[in-house]
Amino acid sequence: MFSNRNHAKAYVSLGSNLGDRGGNLLLAVRGMMEAALCVTRLSSIYETEPVSEVEQAPFLNMVAEVGSPLPTPEQVMARLLRIEYLLGRTRDVKDGPRTIDLDLLLYADIENHTEFLTLPHPRMHERRFVLEPLVEIAPRVMHPTLKRTAMELLESSEDQTAVKRWCP
């Protein structure tokens, strides 16, 4: 267990495919800063195919690095859920369209399996729309259970969905 939260880094995936997708991402980053999360780096924004059985518009995705001082992983997740709520996120349809989606991917080397929070994110290593922006800002960050870097996970990914830098 990583005990020193003063030097910990966490990574958050941001996604939007409803309304002003780019504006929603920026509002979410602002919301993270207003929630006392120290955003230290942001990836580029990528346009990505939805990974869902539900017919919907393409997503814009990015990853934010959050640095110290960090609240506990549960507190980070609670703040992310509040930001989703404030930005109009509803959960009517599983994997359906959304104004904003915020996922806590990694929090230092912590592994957590509770009803409220699973760390690392259970599907991050399977999703190119997460790995591409993560590799852009933290290619050597280590997945604590798979013991592989983000770059290694991307290189071995079987996900063939389209992920390209967004140029509005």
Q: Report which of residues 150 and 54 the model is more confident about.
A: 150
103 is catalytic: yes
Given the residues 103, 109, 148, 159, the one annotated as active site: 103
pLDDT at 94: 74
Mean pLDDT over all residues of the chain?
93
Q: Cα separation of 110 and 102, whole Å?
A: 18
User: Mean pLDDT throughout 58-74?
Assistant: 95
pLDDT bucket at 137, cuts 50 / 70 / 90: very high
Residue 130 Cα distances to 27, 32, 65, 106, 140, angstroms: 19, 18, 13, 11, 15
Given the residues 21, 98, 127, 128, the one annotated as active site: 98
User: Could you read off the pLDDT of 15-51 as tens digits, one per residue?
Assistant: 999 999 999 999 999 999 999 999 999 999 999 998 8
Cβ 18 vs Cβ 57: under 8 Å = yes
Cβ 129 vs Cβ 83: under 8 Å = no
95 is catalytic: no
Report H helices in the chain. 21-34, 73-86, 128-137, 150-155
Q: Rounded to two decimals, what is the model's pTM?
A: 0.93
Given the residues 5, 20, 82, 89, the one annotated as active site: 89
Given the residues 21, 82, 91, 101, the one annotated as active site: 101
Q: Report which of residues 157 and 92 the model is more confident about.
A: 157
User: Could you read off the pLDDT of 71-112 as tens digits, one per residue?
Assistant: 999 999 999 999 999 999 877 777 778 999 999 999 999 999
Q: How many helices (H) and strands (E) does the chain have?
A: 4, 10
89 is catalytic: yes
